[in-house]
Structure 1
Amino acid sequence: MSLKQGADVGRDWVIGVAMGVACALPGKAQAEVDNLVKQALTLEAQGRMAQAYALLAPVVDARAGDPDFDYALGIAAADSGRPGDAIAAFQRVLAVWPDHAQARAEIARLYAQAGDVDTARAEFATVIQDPTLPDPVRQRVGGLIRDYDRAIRGGGNQLSGFIDADVGYDGNVNSATNLTSITLPVFAFLGPATLGGTASRMSDGFHQVQAGASGSMAAGRQDRLFASALGSWRDTWSSDAFDQAAVTATAGGAHTTATGDVVAVSGQAQRFWLGRRGFRTGIGVIGQYTARLRRDRAVSTQLQYFRFDYDGDPSRDAHRYAATLTYSDRTALLSIGGGREATIRDGARNLGYWFGAVQGGSEVPLARAVAIIAGAGIEHRDYDATDPLFLAGRRDTQIDATIGLRLTVRNGIAVRPRATVTRNFSNLSLYDYSRVTGSVGLTFAF
């Protein structure tokens, strides 16, 4: 459990705890409370915390030290966004009335909201020692203390995963041009060259399976170790040449700062097969910093380096460097990034390129069990050297768009129809193509 999660849990629990304590413990008779405090308590019971605070704040200097006044002021300040004033008021209550369980539970809530797990835990430990607490309330406080103990130790182990199976149709399974012939400047004297076989556009049906699992464990109070594995297999129905498979393994560590930001470093290994034969191996390192914002929003920066080695074609071996800036919230994601893939051998510089990309996506609920999923991205690639066939520098701009639905059948199981459109614009005709894919899948997540 993270510090932020601990704070959130603390707020949920303490509301129930404070209510239970307030009902269970004896207090002063209403007649002994003056009219000003009575009026403030009435406003608070109506949820009008800002008005209650405005009523009490002007007389703090004269009334501070009166536990009834300070408790009412603390409640109003806590629930109107003034945690500093609330803590000071509750501390004055406890100075006069140390066994005031309501005030101690409220001050624990404020420390929990601020992410101070140690102080919140200590305050709740004092509350639970009150012999007048009813058993149900005592059990709830005890459960909260155990939650904080886990948070202080860094949280428990976590494991999640998914299995996704799809069947669909790909209108350009080999990402080839729609042209039937092209003229290569190097062989212009021979006239146009006819494209055939795998050099021309091919359509085919496919089925594919993807599966992944990830887990993490505490390595300290604010540190965690994590690892994941992801595998996929795509089988085209008419030709083994375009079958694809991939395996990716990742392992690393993450540190959560006092403000809830996360710094993570991981290593990753990739293996890719094409046409049922080994195609490429990638080994790399990824560093990421995620800054948590209010209302479940976050901004993260990522740097990565990979070394790619191509089976049987060492001229394509390359170093890849990339940087990405990403914003995300509950339903949307937007990222912008760029980098360079540089071939290792000088004679193959035409295969290396600079790139820049922007992409975004969103999942918007339409009903209780239905959500629409949409995404789009654009990437521009500018290649390093003249293409030897076309005697020109290559420049590509690729646009991708996806739209689909998530139809939840039951918890963890969903049906997912979707369609994807790709358009790659290239100044070299051989690499200019369009592609449309449609599929229906079933996802199981745990």
Structure 2
Amino acid sequence: MKTTVSRWMLCLSLTGALSSPLLAAVPADLQQALDATDYTRAFQLAESHNAAMGGDPDFDYAYGLAALRSGNTENAVFAFERVVVNNPYNRDARILLIEAYLALENSEAAKHEFAQLRRISSTDMRSDKIMSFADQMGIEALEAEANTHSMVVFSVGHDTNLNVGMDEDEGEIYGGYYGDKSEIEGNFAEVSAKFGYSKPISSGYVGFLKAAGKFRVYDDVEDTNVTSLAFTAGVAKSDGDRSYNYSASIKPLWTGGNHYRTLYQLDAGFSKNINEAVDFRLGAQWSYFDENDMVDDIIDGNLADRQRLLISAGISRKSVSVSHQVMAYAGTEWADDSEGKYNARDLYGISYRLTHISAASNSKTFAQIFYQRENHKAIDPEYAGFYFTGEKQKDDLAGVTLGHDRTVAADTILFARYSYQNNDSNIYEWDYKASPEDYERHLFQIGLRRQF
């Protein structure tokens, strides 16, 4: 049995191995000055490095930011122009280029870059900064425009333990597909699609609709294909440096062609820009898991319909090309008493994500580690003697995900993913099981993503 310490050591070593080369894209002294928002010194340092590093898109972005914030606007234009020539899809650089042109009162150039931004942007164009640009340039129609975006993904991969669900839309399988968590290995092919629509409705609120679907088929493993759908509706509001969003979702899931569950969710979120580099977020989520009778057939009637309530908080910090994000959450899950069953638990978790965006190679690389503790409890005294042995029943779940995205053509991204998950448990949940719920899973995936 792997210990929690050993699993964390593995996750941290993998993350450290990836992060070392990521942080060397911009000279350390320049990066430190930017992080400290000492833009005058940052510009001086950028000038000193320009002869040797000018033309590298990552350096040019840092140079442009230092120049713009220190009042050297013409230098900023020159630097950001070099970035977007090398990477036309660098949205952040183009936004700052618009800001620089407007500061120079070059409205025609700003309008040209604004048109390019609207063409390449797959996200909402109604942020406060972009709306202020539109106001300065006399673009009044933006407020009432609807925004749509869609994405299609094709991928293949290998799964060393498909008998457990790693993600919500894979089922979060209790007891596995075959009543245990024995390792079942297989290759898979997957196709997924997403669609989004948003439109202003009133008083600064934007309504949005989202739809997503995924189908994964495994070779030579019967009854394990996964089909998931998700439909979401909600509203969002941006108010200066603060934003709010509220949504409702329904997510049906099928495994092996049989209806596994339907998940109902309500979400509320709040975020605040502490400064240009730091964001703070709070969230609340209520979920209802409506399990199908098929689940009872697979795992001998031990899984109840249940509800979950989670509270989350996080902070993110973005520098020129590197961002850090820490998220933590806590919550509880309880079974439907009418089911007469005992599945209930408290959950606590934390994750850290490091992302590096390279303008030079039109790519994004990230590493994420997470840890989750599940403390299980009985809600039906009838099962207390069977379910508990006197020892605290728990699962310690830890994992790491590494990923790389590279833009290979207009709106087309090649991506690769590796995920590792390890669960350390002392639960003997059903008497016919021969071992606790310990398991490992490795997932490898590569594919193409096309945005529209």
TM-score scaled by length of structure 1: 0.61
Taking the aligned partners of 2:357 and 2:200, their CA distance within structure 1 comes to: 34
Residue 413 of structure 2 aligns with an amino acid whose one-letter code is A
Residue 388 of structure 1 aligns with an amino acid whose one-letter code is F
Mapped contact 1:167–1:207 kept (Cα < 8 A): yes
Match of 2:102 among 1, 11, 14: 14
C-alpha spacing 1:9/1:239, structure 2 compared with 1 (3 Å)? same
Partner residue of 2:159?
170
- The 5 Å alignment of 1:253-264 reads 253-257=235-239, 259-264=240-245
Partner residue of 2:377?
384
Taking the aligned partners of 2:250 and 2:275, their CA distance within structure 1 comes to: 34
Partner residue of 1:288?
269
Partner residue of 1:316?
304
Mapped contact 1:341–1:352 kept (Cα < 8 A): yes
C-alpha spacing 1:348/1:387, structure 2 compared with 1 (3 Å)? farther
Partner residue of 2:421?
422
Taking the aligned partners of 1:211 and 1:117, their CA distance within structure 2 comes to: 29
Match of 2:186 among 196, 201, 204: 204
Partner residue of 2:363?
370
Residue 215 of structure 1 aligns with an amino acid whose one-letter code is Y
Match of 2:215 among 226, 229, 233: 233
Give 1:347 shift.
Answer: 6.7
Match of 2:199 among 206, 212, 217: 217
Mapped contact 1:174–1:201 kept (Cα < 8 A): yes
Moved more, 361-370 or 284-293: 361-370
C-alpha spacing 1:373/1:116, structure 2 compared with 1 (3 Å)? closer
Taking the aligned partners of 1:400 and 1:444, their CA distance within structure 2 comes to: 28
* Sequence identity percentage: 18
Taking the aligned partners of 1:118 and 1:375, their CA distance within structure 2 comes to: 35
Taking the aligned partners of 1:310 and 1:211, their CA distance within structure 2 comes to: 25
1:230-287 CA distance string (max 9 Å, x none): 1111111112322111111110111222x23111111111111122100111222111
- The 5 Å alignment of 1:237-252 reads 237-252=219-234
Residue 359 in structure 1 maps to residue 351 in structure 2: yes
Residue 358 of structure 1 aligns with an amino acid whose one-letter code is I
Mapped contact 1:365–1:372 kept (Cα < 8 A): yes
C-alpha spacing 1:253/1:245, structure 2 compared with 1 (3 Å)? same
1:356-415 CA distance string (max 9 Å, x none): 111122321354233322111111101112583674553001111111322221232122
C-alpha spacing 1:285/1:384, structure 2 compared with 1 (3 Å)? same
Higher RCO (Cα < 8 Å, 6 or more apart)? 2
Higher Cα Rg, which structure: 1
- The 5 Å alignment of 1:30-41 reads none
Give 1:8 shift.
Answer: 7.2
Taking the aligned partners of 1:279 and 1:376, their CA distance within structure 2 comes to: 29
Partner residue of 1:156?
145
Taking the aligned partners of 2:101 and 2:312, their CA distance within structure 1 comes to: 38
Residue 356 of structure 1 aligns with an amino acid whose one-letter code is Y
C-alpha spacing 1:389/1:236, structure 2 compared with 1 (3 Å)? farther
Mapped contact 1:349–1:384 kept (Cα < 8 A): no
Partner residue of 1:439?
445
Residue 172 of structure 1 aligns with an amino acid whose one-letter code is N
Partner residue of 2:314?
326
Taking the aligned partners of 2:134 and 2:223, their CA distance within structure 1 comes to: 61
Taking the aligned partners of 1:298 and 1:421, their CA distance within structure 2 comes to: 28
Residue 340 in structure 1 maps to residue 332 in structure 2: yes
C-alpha spacing 1:155/1:360, structure 2 compared with 1 (3 Å)? farther
Structure 2 alignment gaps of length 5 or more: 1-94, 109-127, 166-177, 379-383, 428-434
Mapped contact 1:424–1:432 kept (Cα < 8 A): yes
Give 1:339 shift.
Answer: 0.7
Mapped contact 2:164–2:181 kept (Cα < 8 A): no
Taking the aligned partners of 1:213 and 1:387, their CA distance within structure 2 comes to: 49
Mapped contact 1:397–1:426 kept (Cα < 8 A): yes
Mapped contact 1:387–1:394 kept (Cα < 8 A): no
Taking the aligned partners of 1:405 and 1:289, their CA distance within structure 2 comes to: 29
Residue 382 of structure 1 aligns with an amino acid whose one-letter code is N
Taking the aligned partners of 1:291 and 1:10, their CA distance within structure 2 comes to: 24
Mapped contact 2:395–2:424 kept (Cα < 8 A): yes
Please state whether the residue corresponding to 1:388 is helix, strand or coil.
Answer: helix
Mapped contact 2:289–2:305 kept (Cα < 8 A): yes
Taking the aligned partners of 1:360 and 1:329, their CA distance within structure 2 comes to: 12
Give 1:294 shift.
Answer: 2.0
Give 1:444 shift.
Answer: 1.2
C-alpha spacing 1:215/1:12, structure 2 compared with 1 (3 Å)? farther
Taking the aligned partners of 2:368 and 2:146, their CA distance within structure 1 comes to: 32
- The 5 Å alignment of 1:391-406 reads 391=389, 393-406=392-405
Moved more, 290-299 or 275-284: 290-299
Match of 2:246 among 261, 265, 288: 265
Mapped contact 2:206–2:237 kept (Cα < 8 A): yes
Taking the aligned partners of 2:213 and 2:134, their CA distance within structure 1 comes to: 43
C-alpha spacing 1:155/1:19, structure 2 compared with 1 (3 Å)? closer
TM-score scaled by length of structure 2: 0.60
C-alpha spacing 1:161/1:326, structure 2 compared with 1 (3 Å)? farther
Please state whether the residue corresponding to 2:263 is helix, strand or coil.
Answer: strand
1:397-438 CA distance string (max 9 Å, x none): 111111132222123212212211110010133310111121
